[in-house]
Amino acid sequence: MSIVFVSLLSGCAGTIEDETAGWSQNKLYVEAKDALDGGDFEKCVKYFEKLESRYPFGPYTQQAQINVAYCHWKANDLPQATAAVDRFIQLHPGHSMVDYAYYLKGLITFNDNMGFLGKLTGQDLSERDPKAARDAFEAFKILTTRFPDSKYTPDALDRMRYIVNSLADSDVNTARFYYRRGAFLAAINRAQLAITDYDRAPAVEEALYILYKSYEAIGMKDLSNDTLRVLKLNYPNSKIIETGIRSTAEDRTPPWWQIWRK
């Protein structure tokens, strides 16, 4: 009985028809583009992948490959989106749209989607794993270096500045964590890292303050005084000496990272 049942199931499965069977490459492309424009990204991926597999040397194939990456990204399937865009870059390094491919790769890994829990808790972007930010920075860096005249370069440069600030704040968050727990040497090392690597980032003001207070805590008066002098020289209007280390993201007015929230 079970064998008959399996056979019936197999027979039913074999009757499932592919709605795209017999479609020309032009129709496949039009339907895939309509799905993309309509926000049906699952269908968009399905149609563009069929287009590429059926017509690997057709006029729409390369466009289909980059569109697959875009549709995966919009569907929030980031691993598939990354794999698709990397494949496009590898296969077509001299393509006229390779600048867009690097831009899209940066967007895919650009860690600006706070999500529901992030907004609910008020979590700062800099308080999360910075790996995605670094990966995005590298993609944007390739774009801006190789294609300075690309129409995507100005936005990529803005996002690179944002990422630098985010990474700086991440280091300062860590330095603050160490300072509050009395791990002053660790706080010094992390604050120095932020100052050295991201010398123009807004977070450097707090990094200098943590450095100053950490040196003071371990009795290194000369270094503490020197750091305080540098802090006052570079931030003459700073109130952090009076108010202390910022404890939450809400203390920053306005938060520099908020320019990317939508």
pTM, two decimals, is 0.74
| Structural domain spans, the chain | 21-146, 171-260
- Whether the per-residue pLDDT at 249 is higher than 50: the answer is no
Between the CA of residue 177 and those of 124, 182, 256, what are the distances in Å?
15, 9, 21
How many other CB atoms are found less than 10 A from the CB of residue 76?
Answer: 10
Structure-token pair, residue 244: 């202390």
Q: Look at residue 116 in the predicted model and tell me its pLDDT.
A: 38
Q: Look at residue 181 in the predicted model and tell me its pLDDT.
A: 95
Contacts 24+ apart (CB under 8 A), 253-256: 255/124, 256/165, 256/202
Does the domain at 21-146 match CATH 3.90.550.10? Answer given as: no
Alpha carbons 207 and 88: distance in angstroms, whole number: 41
For 114-173, what is each residue's pLDDT tens digit?
Answer: 443 344 334 455 555 678 888 999 999 999 999 999 999 999 999 999 999 989 998 999
- Whether the per-residue pLDDT at 248 is higher than 50: the answer is no
Q: Look at residue 204 in the predicted model and tell me its pLDDT.
A: 94
Tell me whether the omega of the peptide bond preceding residue 254 falls within 30 degrees of 0, making it cis: yes
Q: What angle do CA 196, 163, 185 make, to 5 degrees?
A: 35
For 70-103, what is each residue's pLDDT tens digit?
Answer: 999 999 999 999 999 999 999 999 999 999 999 9
Comparing 17-21, 104-108, 153-157, 165-169, the range with the smallest average pLDDT is: 17-21
